[in-house]
Amino acid sequence: MKKIFNNIPIKIFNAQFTDKNVCLKFLSDQKWQNGFVCKKCGHTNFCKGKTAYSRRCTKCKSEESATAHTMFHRCHIPLTTAFKIAYLVCNKPKISSYELSRLLDTRQMTCWKFKSKIAECIENSNEYSMVEKVELKNVIIKSKADD
């Protein structure tokens, strides 16, 4: 996500990711940019799934949404809000959950939990340097201690 969200001005970001379907299309394009491979059987042929931008394996009939196996999987906040949190954290890793809460008019604990989820994804990613990973983790731990 860092490569994608970095250096995009906030006005362009807000204009581009206006609703859930735009976010789902973006996730779908990113997730399956190298083609679809079924997580259950490994088959590469698919058809349209029941929900927007989901894909259904034509062999085992398993369906996978665009958010499955991403940091947005089982996200309980609106996808547009989650995208904004991801954008803000990728561009300003030291942003506090309190500042996110004020900017997005969302509960502080919700922002903290999603920011923690982003940090977990960053830890498992090669997109960030070790220094950035440690800094973000320390900010999250400090933020939790302040609660």
What is the band of 7 on the pLDDT scale with cuts at 50, 70, 90? low
Q: Are 136 and 113 in contact (CB under 8 A)?
A: no
The answer, yes or no, to whether residue 78 has pLDDT greater than 90, is yes
Label residue 10 by pLDDT band (50, 70, 90).
Answer: confident
- Tokens 């996730």 map to which residue? 27
Domain ranges across the chain: 2-31+72-146
pLDDT band at 99 (very low <50, low <70, confident <90, very high): very high
Q: What is the pTM of this model?
A: 0.77
* Residue bearing tokens 């088959």: 43
- Interacting residues of 1 by C-beta distance below 8 A, sequence separation 6+: 71, 86, 90, 118, 121, 127
